Every structure is written in C-alpha cells, then in structure tokens.
C-alpha cells in the first residue's frame, strides 16, 4: 500500500508539482516553435495581398486583391492548375480502383507467396523515385511517350500503387467476412459484393488513399519536370518554378498569390483526411 | 462454377492490372537503367543512337570525379543535419513537450508544424528564398538586434537548405514520436522518478529505450525520404553557389540532362538505387521486428 507511507506521498506530490512547472516551460517553448513554423508562411500570406510586396514579413501598406486577379485571369496559370488537377485526379482515381481490386484477393484468400508479395510491395514503397527518373525518361523517350499527360499519369499510378495496396489491404482486413457471406448466399458475384458491401464499409479508408495520392502528385515537382516539356501541359508545380526562375525578382506578390492558391487545396484536403483517420497518423494505416 | 476456379480467376484478374503497371513502369526502367549504366549513351548527338558498352568505366569515373565525391559529401551532410538529427530531434522534442498539454495548444502547434509538411516542395523553396534573402525576414529580424544583413543563400547555402528541409519535414517525425510516446506506460515513468531519476536519466534510461523501435524505423524512413530530395534544393539554390549544395540527385540531373551524359547519369542513379534498396531492406527488417 504505497499510498499510506508519508514519504512516498510527499515525493509523489513534488513529482506532480515539478511536472506542472515543466509544463509551463514546455508551454512557452511550444509557442516559440509555433511562431518559428508560421513565420515563413506568414510572409506568403501578407505578400499576396501587398501591392508592392517586399521579401520580409510586413503587413501590407497598400492592401490589394490585384495579385490574385492577375493570377486568376492569366490563361496559362489556369491551364497549369487544370493540368495539376487532371494529373492528380486521374492518378488518385486509378490508384483507388486498382488498389481495391488488388488488395481484395490479398485480404480474402490464402494465396501462395502472399507474404512475399506484400513484403515486395512494402520494399518498393521505400525506394527513392528520384533514382529511377533518369531511366524512366530514357525508356519514355525511346518509346516516344515523353511529354504526355497520360503516360506521366500511368507512371505516377505505378509509383503510388505499392503503398496504396498496403493501406487498402489493412482497411479491407477490418471488414468482417460474414457481411459478404450473406451476399454470396443471395447469389451476388465478387464484383457485386465489392461494390455493395465492401465499398460502403471502407469508404473512409478509400478517401484517405485518394487524398494521400492526390496530394502526393499535386505537390510533385520532379516527375512532371522531367517528363513534361511543353508549356501547355505543365502542372502548377513546374509552372510556378518557371515563374519563380524567370520573373522571381519582379513580382513577388503575384508569385505569393499563385503559391497560396496552389497550396490551399492540398492543405484543405489534408485537414479533411485527418478527420477520417481515427487513430491519428500511423503512416496512413500502413504501419499498425 | 467451382468455387476454387472463381477464386483463381479473381486472384489473377484483380491483382494483375496493378502488378502489370508496377512491372512496366517501375521494374522495367530499373533493369534498363542497369544496362544503360554500362554504356556511353548520351541524350543528343551521335552517341544517342550509336552508343557502345564501356564496361564499368562509368562507375570508376564516378569515384574519381571530384564533383561527384563533393556531391556525396554534401548529401551526407544534408542528410545527417537536416533529417537524421534536425527533423528527428525537433520532432521528438515537440512531441514530448506536447504530451501533457491542453487540446487547443496541441492542435495549434500540430497544425503549424504540419504546414511545412503539406506545402509543396517548390513553394517551400520560394518561401525560404524570401526568408533567407538579403532583404528577407531573417535579416530583418536580426537587424532588430543590430546584426548586419547576411547573404544566407550565398554564404551559407548548405545551412539554408538544411533549415528549409527541417521546416518541411519535422512534422513526419513529430507524428511518429507522438504515437510512440502515447504508448509509453505512465507507470514506468512515475516509478523511475520515485526511484530518484532526474529528467535526463528518465529520457535516456526509460523513454528512449522503450521507443527504440520507432527511433530505428523513423531514422530509416526520414533517410529514405531525404536521400532523393530534389525539388527543394534545386529550386532554392540550384545546387549552388558553385557546387556547395549539389547533392547526388542534383548532380545526377545535371550530368544527365544538362551535360547529356545519360550513361554516366544512370550509373549514378543505380548507385542511389542500390543505397535505397539497402535502406529499404533494413526498413522491412525493422518493420517485421515491430510487428
């Protein structure tokens, strides 16, 4: 009965007092860290509303929406956002469909070599994509499928599939098989059970995979930078880089407005996805 | 139809589209790369078609190329200070400090750290271009203390890209350590304290040993994420000034697409890939261990 010994009680009390004091210190440090993380972004927000944006953080002297108006009325900016959307949306959609199909047998049947396959996929998730960009460029060049949004999308799909199949299998494993058995007895085919039983049950997981994949390619720079060469096919990441490189010293306000418009959709999606992830992060479900 | 047959059709039909894509766009180029890395193929000119096998010469050339050696050292420095130490120590510290805080503060801090994680690489580069500029926010802040403006991107290029990458990637380690620390039993901490352990002993003798597995896994993961980092450095410093921030991916890009030496560039890609393969194998081992 530790509670009844006075010495331990005082010791325990001072433990909690010390912890309280440490918490105050932690409080202050955390707020400091928060400021450090927000400070660089604060510049982006202020500069985008500044008629004459400097490179330091400053509350706009002349508040204006002109930067946004310029960015939004420029046809090539529009096109780059549209390209980003086409690329990310079609990639994420394909990844979701293919990974549900692929993970279904992996979750439901006893397949020979299943473990090996799962570990091979896990292994692939680790490989740095940068290392295969030069060879991918060469192969695409030889096959004359360079500078195409379709082949770029397909490449992005294949790079996202390994981790998506892992995530999706984890979500499928959580769906009890008894639900499906009832449908089978009613004579439903496998595809029908997937559509009517599995899909509604894993909808949150499906959205997580979609959002992860979408934001991954929305922010991707290297892949389209290497594979896409014509201006009208460039996604926002490459367009903004060119903007930055060519006019970087001229119009910071516009560049900031462009950057914010480009960042907001995935920041929003990310916040949305947090709500679907019940047990926090855990690498989006791939590590449990 | 026999249930077994339906099952087999499902297995093949459902799995193959994904697997075919992975093999076609992932494996095939890697194998091709291995072949091309033994050639003197170029992007344009005569050697783009009539290239020949040159044995291991791309590989031997690499390790006698002072710029490649420089890029290896840069990669190691960048990796060590921005990811292995920087992101992890900051991420762990934030996670530890957040543990016993109120929900509001947790959410505010968590969201502001996550800002760096969700911001696209090129935008991070632009933001830090402004931050480190001679007339930028950092110098402006230091000016308050009477410090003269410093050309950070020019004089301290490596430091600048390291700090930018810490800002970008700390969220990942923070989230990993948050879930690890949540699983450390409160009893063992209190017991150790009652035995007279101070905060440092508590950290090194109790907490860190308990979350050892997460530390190993996280170190491997942040290394894998950082080793191939291209956009942030490329857009922020372009690998410069001189070759000061040229890491292996940047040098590989320069050799392949600016100097058109595809054979040489692919050889570098293969070395990077082998490094990734080794790390990824290590990751799998630690993953199995944690299961």
pLDDT digits (tens, 9 = 90+) for B236-276: 988 888 888 999 999 999 998 888 888 888 899 889 989 98
For A33, A66, A69, A76, B66, the CA distances from A73, given in Å and listed in that order, are 38, 10, 6, 9, 48
pLDDT at residue number B160:
94
Strands (E), A98-215: none
| Chain B positions in Cβ-Cβ contact with residue A241 (cut-off 8 Å) | 122, 231, 235
Query: Which of A130, A156, A218, A223 is the best substitution to test chain B (most B C-beta atoms within 10 A)?
Result: A130
pLDDT higher than threshold 90 for residue A247: no
ipTM, 2 decimals? 0.89
B100 to A12: CB separation less than 8 angstroms, yes or no: no
Query: Which of A46, A128, A177 is the best substitution to test chain B (most B C-beta atoms within 10 A)?
Result: A128
- Chain segment B5-31, per-residue pLDDT in tens: 888 888 888 999 999 999 998 888 888
Tell me, yes or no, if A32 comes closer than 8 A to chain B by beta carbon. Answer: no
**Rounded to whole angstroms, how far apart are CA atoms B110 and B95?**
9
Contact A217, A87 (CB under 8 A): yes
A221 to B269: CB separation less than 8 angstroms, yes or no: no
Structure tokens at B219: 């170190």
pTM of the model: 0.89
pLDDT higher than threshold 50 for residue A281: no
pLDDT at residue number A279:
43
| Chain B positions in Cβ-Cβ contact with residue A21 (cut-off 8 Å) | none
pLDDT higher than threshold 60 for residue A137: yes
pLDDT higher than threshold 90 for residue A102: yes
| Chain A positions in Cβ-Cβ contact with residue B224 (cut-off 8 Å) | 126-128
pLDDT at residue number A250:
61
Local confidence band at B1 (pLDDT 50, 70, 90 cut-offs)? low
- Chain segment A52-94, per-residue pLDDT in tens: 777 778 788 888 888 888 888 888 888 999 999 999 999 999 9
Tell me, yes or no, if B179 comes closer than 8 A to chain A by beta carbon. Answer: yes
A29 to B193: CB separation less than 8 angstroms, yes or no: no
Coil, helix or strand at residue B58? helix
Question: Which of B36, B178, B281 has its CB closest to that of A138?
Answer: B36
Q: How many CA atoms, within 13 angstroms, populate the side-chain half-sphere of residue B58?
A: 28
Q: Which has the higher per-residue pLDDT, A153 or A275?
A: A153
- Chain segment B56-91, per-residue pLDDT in tens: 888 988 889 999 999 999 999 999 999 999 999 999
Tell me, yes or no, if A26 comes closer than 8 A to chain B by beta carbon. Answer: yes
What DSSP designation does B100 have? T
**Rounded to whole angstroms, how far apart are CA atoms B248 and B74?**
8
List the end-to-end C-alpha distance of chain A, in Å, as a whole number. 37
Chain B residues 143-162 within an 8 A CB cutoff of chain A = none
For A10, B123, B238, B258, B264, the CA distances from B254, given in Å and listed in that order, are 66, 22, 10, 5, 11
- Chain segment B147-169, per-residue pLDDT in tens: 888 888 888 999 999 999 999 99
Radius of gyration of chain B, Cα coordinates, nearest whole angstrom = 24
Local confidence band at A287 (pLDDT 50, 70, 90 cut-offs)? very low
**Rounded to whole angstroms, how far apart are CA atoms A283 and A273?**
13
Tell me, yes or no, if A155 comes closer than 8 A to chain B by beta carbon. Answer: yes
Contact B129, B85 (CB under 8 A): no
Chain A residues 179-198 within an 8 A CB cutoff of chain B = 190
Radius of gyration of chain A, Cα coordinates, nearest whole angstrom = 25
A109 to B10: CB separation less than 8 angstroms, yes or no: yes
Minimal-distance CA residue of chain B relative to A165: B18
Calculate mean pLDDT across residues B229-241. 90
What DSSP designation does A65 have? S
A155 to B252: CB separation less than 8 angstroms, yes or no: no
pLDDT at residue number B290:
65
């Amino acid at each position: 009965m530790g509670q009844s010994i006075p010495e331990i009680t005082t010791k325990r009390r001072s433990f909690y007092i010390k912890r309280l004091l440490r918490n105050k210190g932690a409080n202050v440090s955390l707020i400091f860290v928060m400021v450090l993380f927000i400070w660089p972004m604060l510049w982006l927000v202020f500069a985008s509303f500044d008629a004459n944006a400097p490179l330091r953080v400053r509350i706009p002297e002349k508040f204006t929406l002109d930067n946004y108006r310029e960015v939004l009325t420029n046809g090539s900016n529009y096109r780059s956002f549209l390209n980003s959307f086409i690329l990310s949306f079609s990639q994420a959609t394909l990844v979701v469909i293919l990974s549900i199909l692929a993970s279904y047998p992996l979750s439901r049947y006893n397949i020979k070599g299943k473990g090996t396959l799962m570990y091979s996929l896990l292994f692939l998730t680790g490989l740095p994509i940068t290392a295969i960009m030069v060879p991918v460029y060469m192969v695409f060049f030889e096959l004359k499928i360079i500078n195409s949004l379709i082949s770029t999308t397909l490449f992005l799909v294949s790079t996202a599939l390994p981790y998506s199949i892992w995530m999706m299998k984890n979500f499928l494993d959580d769906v009890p098989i008894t639900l499906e058995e009832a449908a089978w007895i009613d004579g439903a085919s496998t595809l029908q059970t997937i559509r009517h039983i599995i899909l509604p049950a894993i909808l949150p997981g499906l959205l997580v995979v979609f959002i992860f994949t979408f934001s991954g390619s929305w922010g991707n720079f290297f892949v389209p930078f290497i594979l896409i060469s014509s201006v009208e096919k460039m996604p926002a990441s490459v367009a903004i880089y060119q903007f930055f490189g060519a006019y970087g010293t001229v119009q910071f306000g516009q560049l900031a407005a462009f950057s914010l418009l480009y960042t907001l959709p995935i920041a929003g999606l990310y916040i949305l996805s947090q709500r679907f992830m019940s047990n926090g992060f855990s690498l989006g479900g791939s590590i449990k | 139809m026999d249930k077994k047959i339906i099952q087999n059709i499902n297995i093949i039909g459902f799995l193959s589209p994904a697997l075919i894509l992975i093999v076609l766009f992932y494996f095939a180029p890697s194998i091709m790369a291995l072949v091309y890395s033994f050639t003197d193929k170029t992007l344009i000119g005569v050697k783009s078609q009539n290239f020949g096998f040159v044995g291991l010469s791309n590989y031997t050339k690499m390790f006698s190329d002072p710029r490649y050696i420089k890029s290896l050292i840069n990669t190691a420095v960048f990796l060590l200070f921005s990811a292995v130490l920087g992101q992890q120590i900051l991420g762990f510290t934030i996670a530890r400090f957040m543990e016993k805080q109120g929900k509001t503060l947790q959410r505010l801090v968590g969201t502001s750290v996550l800002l760096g994680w969700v911001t696209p690489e090129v935008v991070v580069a632009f933001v830090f271009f402004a931050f480190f500029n001679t007339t930028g926010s950092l110098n402006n802040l230091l000016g308050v203390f009477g410090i003269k403006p410093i050309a950070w991107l020019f004089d301290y290029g490596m430091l600048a890209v390291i700090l930018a990458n810490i800002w970008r990637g700390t969220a990942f380690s923070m989230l990993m350590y948050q879930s690890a620390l949540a699983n450390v039993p409160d009893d063992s901490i209190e017991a150790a304290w009652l035995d007279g352990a101070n905060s440092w002993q508590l950290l090194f003798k109790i907490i860190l040993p308990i979350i050892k597995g997460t530390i190993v896994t996280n170190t491997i993961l942040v290394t894998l994420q950082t080793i191939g980092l291209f956009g942030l450095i490329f857009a922020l410093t372009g690998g410069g000034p001189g070759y000061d921030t040229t890491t292996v991916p940047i040098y590989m890009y320069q050799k392949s697409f600016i100097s058109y030496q595809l054979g040489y560039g692919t050889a570098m890609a293969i070395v990077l890939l082998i490094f990734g393969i080794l790390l990824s194998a290590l990751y799998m081992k630690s993953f199995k261990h944690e299961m």
